Every structure is written in structure tokens, then in C-alpha cells.
Amino acid sequence: MFYGVSYYPEHKAQAEIEHDLALMKELGINIVRMGEFAWCKFEPREGEYDFTWLDPVIAQLGANGIQTIVCTPTACPPAWLVEKHPEILYVDNRGVARPFGGRRHYCYNNPVYREYSHKIAAAIAAHYADNPYVFAFQIDNELAQEGTGRCRCPVCREKFQKWLQAKYGTIAELNRRMGTIFWGQTYDHFGQINLPVNTIEPNTAQAIPAYFENPSLRLDFERFCSESNIEYQNSQRDAIKAYTDKPVTTNATGLATNSIDYFKAFQGLDVYAFDYYPSLRDGAISSFPYAHARGVCRKGFWLLEFVSGGGHGLWGSGRLQPYPGALRQAAIHAFAAGADLVAHFQFRTFPFGAEQLNYAIVDIDGIPRRRFYEVQAAARDLKKLSPILKNSHFVNEVAVCFDYESLWALKIKPIARDFNYVDFCGEIYHRLVRLGVGVDVISFGRDLEQYKVVIVPAPMVMSDDAKRRLKHYVYSGGVLLSTFLAGVKDPDNLGIAESLPCGLTDLFGIRVGEVEPVVERTAATIALDTGAGTVRGGNKYWAETLEPNGAELIGTYADTFREGLGVISRNSYGSGTAYYLGTGLAPELLAELLKLALQDGSVSRVPFAVPEGVEVLARKYDQRNLYCVFNFRTESTAVELGQNFFDVLQGSPVGERVVLPPKGYLFLLEEAQN
Ligand code: GAL
Ligand code: ZN
């Protein structure tokens, strides 16, 4: 297990480096990540490589037992390259080229830039392939971050036209499948097709009214850009792999998604890695991105950038400092949730540049303070926990399907102002975790059969294959819960001229009647029959009425003009059960519905009550259960365990009741059954 920091020796004079490395040794870390913005140091003039600024740092760290991840610096093409080849610049959705002077100012499709990127990646890999202290390579830095994943330069335009031609064959076929007859947008040939100017990228303004452009063309543009970014990433991977078998990866932005399909992107890399900056002041850390990470890589993932503190910030506002104990807890929580590597961003506050005075582990004066000591304490705990974490893993019985195509389609054509696909998936995830259930977040492509309960939130765009697989899963005994918007669109992002949920009416035993968004004044009360009684709660986001066609209605509208109409159904299909939920539910009511599905699937739950503000991550150590318990609250919290466990960190048994201090954690191992 690797624990460490990002570090920028290219910023520093020798004396400061000496000071910092001594502190790193004291910190007890074993990994440092370097180089991702330093092209101008690696190759100060074209073809002249220089590693003398980095080699001694790697050597000195190595001598102290600290390994290095070397990054390719392609997020920052140097001034000489931009001067020589201004055509490599990224062009945004207003048609404006991003000038030199920031970062990520390049087009990932530009062939000249691809060649330069390949060359610098190869040079770095060749130099470090056999360095015993270099442990792995990182490609670029946060591909597509800061609105750089949807380039509109002439190269991209031509490439997109060719991409469409390869996909559709003829322009007539494209016109048909995209419904371009609408508003008379029919094309005569591929050369007429413009890149959509509207965008789903975070923090990027729309260039024209968002609803003007053809949604099918827009979805294809998202796919094309995601694929192009992956191609760019993989060309660097190939450059590196020609020299070494060491792990190669890149740092994704996790669920703060930059609209690259990470399920696809990481098929070609050795490990899923992402960056995560949760707030550490009062609330809980969401483990939803970690569950997604496990779904992407099916093994331990890496956090190449992880929060380090507060103070000044890059994004136009400062950042709160962690509550005492929260930084230490956050690192251990990430490892418990499946990380094999965590590197804080970053070691010591920068005096200059866009991120001047930003958060770090050590303040600008180089004096260790509480954040330093918390990282040190986490490193100590990690040493104790490593053997048990390495030999234990997740065996979750419940999966939530997360689908990039539905995410993109819902961003292109949103259904309701307050509805966000990622947050909705997270809401369901967190409700399940609150019920003491372990959850994986997976793609539709993943084998469903290993799960007892599968949940598909707002699966708006579905392929026939995905539908077949869901049916097969339920038919052979699985429990499925789909929410509203199931199968509304086909992969061309067209509505289907059939009853909703299209192609799934037999599986769910219902047809959807009327649909509409829910706004505050139209919210209804929903009554759910749990078998043991009726529970009620409000609805939100989206409302569908269900017409039973074989299914049993277990939920109905309890007021408004829809009173008595169906909204939640349960259907037996083969030897399994399929639930359909036609609206968003208030948290407690959602929990009641989830409980029904969990019961049907005989899903195991954490054997003790999990108080509010506490999270339990359950892993298997051989046949024994390992419960990793985190108190995210700023007060002490008692947990009634009801049985004896072994406390891994203390190395001693614990009784039936434990009290966790504020931001405390406990690793509880079930006693061996002999
Ligand atoms: C990340 C980026 C880092 C740094 C950080 C904010 O998105 O990869 O280089 O800018 O945000 O401090
Ligand atoms: Zn471009």
C-alpha cells in the first residue's frame, strides 16, 4: 500500500528541496508523484532532454524508502512548442483558441501534438524504465479538465465528420437515424456537419440556446470526444509501454466527471486512478466515488490527488481547513474503501502561479503543523492495517448501474431543473449504505449475475443488449429495481415509438402512462404498501403514472388529481422480481422501498445498527467479516455492536459497545469460527 504526496521540485532551490525531503522522511510516506506540469524542464528546447533536475530527487527519496510516480507533462505544452505550432491549441465552444499562459491548452486530436506527446512520453519512459525507485507512470493530468475535453478546432471537425461517416456509411442513413428532418436540418453530405457548439462540460457556458442542436448529433459528439481523449491517452500509454512493464495510468476526475467514459478509458490502463477533494470540515466523506472506482477497475484503485487542507483556493474561493482528525480519517477511509495508493495534493504551499498560497500538507514556511502530524499518524495506522487490507476484499451483493450514455443524454436534454443523474445515483447509493448494505457501482456491461439486487437509476438510454441482460438477470432469479425514465431512448438518442418502458413492459408488467417533471407546487404524497402497513412520503424530480399489465401496484399517488393511480410496481418474472419506481421519493420512503428489494434478495446487512453520521465498510478477510467503522461526526458516537470483535488497530478484543471519538475509526474483525 502506498501513501504519499505530490511534489514540485522544479519550483525549488536546492536548500528548500533538502528541507522538504527531510520532512517527507519524517512523515513516514512511501510514494511521491512528480513532473506533471514540467515539460519546460524535461525538454527546455526541442529534442534536448534534461533529467538532471529530477534524478537526484528521485534518488534521494528512493534512498529513504520513498518510490516515485513520474508523470508525462503533456497538460502543459511549453512556450517553444506553442510558438512553433500554434495550430495545436485547444479551441473552445465559442471558437476561441485557449492561449498559452494557463494549462491544458492543447487539442488531443491534433496529429502534431500527438506526435510531440508521444515523443516526450517515450523519452521519459526510456530514461526511467530501469530506475529502481520509479514505481509507475502517470499520463498527462486530468484529461479534459477545466473545459478541455470538447475541442472545436478544424482538425476535430474533419475527424468528427469522418467518424460519423464510418458509423453511418451514408448521409441518408445519418439523416434518418438522427431525425434531421426536424427543423429542416437534413444534410447533403458529411462535409456540411458542424461540431455542436453546446456543451455538457462543467463550468463552460452554452454558446447558443442549449436546446437548438440535434440531440443525436450531440450525443455522438460526446462519444467521439470521449473516444478521442481515450485514443490520446492510449497513444502515450503505448509510448511508455514500449520501454517498461511498470504500471501506467492517468488521474481521472472520478465522479466530478469530465465526460470521459471511465469504464472504457481504463480498460487499456493498468489501474484506475482518480483525484478526489471531499470537504473535511463537518460532513461525511462520500464513498460513492470509491464504489464507482471499484466498479471501473475491479481491484484496488489509486487516488493520485487527494485533499490536503484548506486556506486559499484555485477555484475562485478559499477552502475550509479539515476538522481536527478529519485528514487522518479521510486517508484511512480511502484505503478501507479500496484504495491501494493515496497521494495528497500537495506537499507544500506554492508561493507563485495560479495556485499560489493553496492548501498543502506543509504551510509555506516549511514548518510542520497539525495536517503534517495527521498524515504522519495515518501513515503509522496504515502500516498496522496493511496486512489485513491487502488480504481482504469487497463481496457486495448489491449493484447500482451507472451509465455514461444516460448521463450525457440527460445533460443534453435535462428533464427537470433539480435533477442531476450523478447525484441521483449517489442518493440511492447512500440510502443503501445507511441501511448497512455494501454496494458496487457498475456499468451496464458488467456481469450482473453475481449480485442479488441490481438497481438501475434513470436508465434513459438503453441498448437492446442491456435490456436483454436485465431480463435474463431477473428471469434467472435476480431482484431488479428500475426508476423512472427506463428505456425512453435508443442509443441514437431518439425516443422510441412504443409504450414505456420501451422493450421492458413485459419485465416490469406495467406501461407508463402520463409523465411530467415535479415542481414544488405539484409534489404529491406517495403511499407505499410494505406488506406490514402503509408508509407515506413526498415525491420529487419526475412523475410517471403506471398502468398495471401483470404487475402488482405497491405504490400509489395518495393525493392530487392522480390520487389512486399507480406509481410503484412489483412484478414476478421467471424466478426473479422486477420493481419499477415511477417517481423520485423522499429519503425515508426510498429507504422503505429499498428494504423490500433487499428482503426479496435476502441481502446481508451489517449486523449492528449504524448511527447517523457513521459509515461502515464491510470487507471479507477469508471467511470472516471485517467492518471498517468511521465516525464522521464532530461528536463522540456510540455504536452498539451486540457481539465481540477484535480491534485490529489496538490489537485487542472489544466489547459489545464502543464509543468512537469525533472523526474516529475502528477496524473490527469478526472472531474466527472454529
Ligand atoms: C486538480 C489538478 C491539480 C490542482 C488541483 C487543485 O484538478 O489536477 O493540479 O490544480 O486540482 O488544487
Ligand atoms: Zn481539436
Ligand nearest to the CA of 142: 1
Cell of 200: 455538457
pLDDT tens string 435-452: 999 999 999 888 899 999
pLDDT tens string 382-435: 999 999 999 999 999 999 999 999 999 999 999 998 999 999 999 999 999 999
145, 36 Cβ separation under 8 angstroms: no
Ligand nearest to the CA of 89: 2
What is the average pLDDT across 537-543? 98
> Which of 139, 250, 255, 275 maximizes ligand 1 atoms within 8 Å of its Cβ, making it the mutation to test the pocket?
275
Mean pLDDT of the chain: 96
| CA 276 to centroid of ligand 1, rounded, Å | 10
| CA 249 to centroid of ligand 1, rounded, Å | 17
Helices (H), 458-586: 464-475, 505-508
| CA 277 to centroid of ligand 1, rounded, Å | 9
Ligand nearest to the CA of 155: 2
DSSP classification of residue 521: G
| CA 103 to centroid of ligand 1, rounded, Å | 11
| CA 74 to centroid of ligand 2, rounded, Å | 15
> Which of 355, 358, 359, 361 maximizes ligand 1 atoms within 8 Å of its Cβ, making it the mutation to test the pocket?
355
> Which of 5, 142, 277, 347 maximizes ligand 1 atoms within 8 Å of its Cβ, making it the mutation to test the pocket?
142
- Kindly report which listed range (51-55, 210-214, 455-459, 591-595) carries the lowest average pLDDT score: 210-214
Ligand 1 touching residue 275 (CB < 6 A): yes
pLDDT computed for residue 92 by the predictor: 95
What is the average pLDDT across 252-273? 93
Ligand 1 touching residue 141 (CB < 6 A): yes
Kind of pairing between the strands at 248-252 and 273-276: parallel
10, 55 Cβ separation under 8 angstroms: no
Ligand 1 touching residue 274 (CB < 6 A): no
| CA 160 to centroid of ligand 1, rounded, Å | 30
- Kindly report which listed range (106-110, 156-160, 313-317, 398-402) carries the lowest average pLDDT score: 313-317
* Minimal-distance CA residue to ligand 1 atom 6: 314
| CA 117 to centroid of ligand 2, rounded, Å | 15
> Which of 277, 345, 355 maximizes ligand 1 atoms within 8 Å of its Cβ, making it the mutation to test the pocket?
345
pLDDT tens string 473-491: 999 999 999 999 999 999 9
Ligand 1 touching residue 358 (CB < 6 A): yes
pLDDT tens string 1-54: 999 999 999 999 999 999 999 999 999 999 999 999 999 999 999 999 999 999
Ligand 1 touching residue 403 (CB < 6 A): no
Angle 251-422-443 (CA atoms, 0-180°, nearest 5)? 70
SS3 651: coil
pLDDT computed for residue 49 by the predictor: 98
- Of the candidates 656, 652, 659, the residue with the CA atom closest to the CA atom of residue 644: 656
**Is residue 671 very low, low, confident or very high in pLDDT (cuts 50, 70, 90)?**
confident
Residue 672 in this model has a pLDDT that exceeds 90: no
Cβ contacts of 265 within 8 Å, gap of 6 or more: 226, 229, 230, 233, 250, 252
pLDDT tens string 368-379: 999 999 999 999
Which one-letter amino acid corresponds to residue 286? S
Cβ contacts of 138 within 8 Å, gap of 6 or more: 33, 36, 69, 70, 71, 72, 248, 249, 250, 251, 273, 304
| CA 9 to centroid of ligand 2, rounded, Å | 32
Ligand nearest to the CA of 253: 1
**What number does the ligand 1 atom closest to the CA of 251 have?**
8
Residue 141 in this model has a pLDDT that exceeds 80: yes
* Minimal-distance CA residue to ligand 1 atom 9: 141
pLDDT computed for residue 294 by the predictor: 95
pLDDT tens string 503-515: 999 999 999 999 9
Query: Using CA atoms, how far apart are residues 15 and 19, in angstroms rounded to an integer?
Result: 6
Residue 106 in this model has a pLDDT that exceeds 70: yes
The three-state (H, E, C) secondary structure of 37-88, written as one string: CCHHHHCCECCECCCCCCHHHHHHHHHCCCEEEEECCCCCCCHHHHHHCHHH
What is the average pLDDT across 515-530? 97
406, 460 Cβ separation under 8 angstroms: yes
pLDDT computed for residue 80 by the predictor: 98
11 — phi, psi (to 5°)? -85, -10
| CA 154 to centroid of ligand 2, rounded, Å | 6
Ligand nearest to the CA of 110: 2
Ligand 1 touching residue 355 (CB < 6 A): yes
Residue 316 in this model has a pLDDT that exceeds 80: no
pLDDT computed for residue 288 by the predictor: 98
Ligand 1 touching residue 142 (CB < 6 A): yes
Ligand 1 touching residue 148 (CB < 6 A): no
What is the average pLDDT across 356-382? 97
> Which of 6, 308, 314 maximizes ligand 1 atoms within 8 Å of its Cβ, making it the mutation to test the pocket?
314
Residue 674 in this model has a pLDDT that exceeds 60: no
Residue 191 in this model has a pLDDT that exceeds 60: yes
Strands (E), 165-255: 248-252
* Minimal-distance CA residue to ligand 1 atom 7: 142
How far separated are the first and last CA of the chain, in Å rounded? Answer: 30
Compare 256 and 465 and report the one with higher pLDDT: 465
**Is residue 470 very low, low, confident or very high in pLDDT (cuts 50, 70, 90)?**
very high
Residue 205 in this model has a pLDDT that exceeds 70: yes
Query: Using CA atoms, how far apart are residues 444 and 467, in angstroms rounded to an integer?
Result: 9
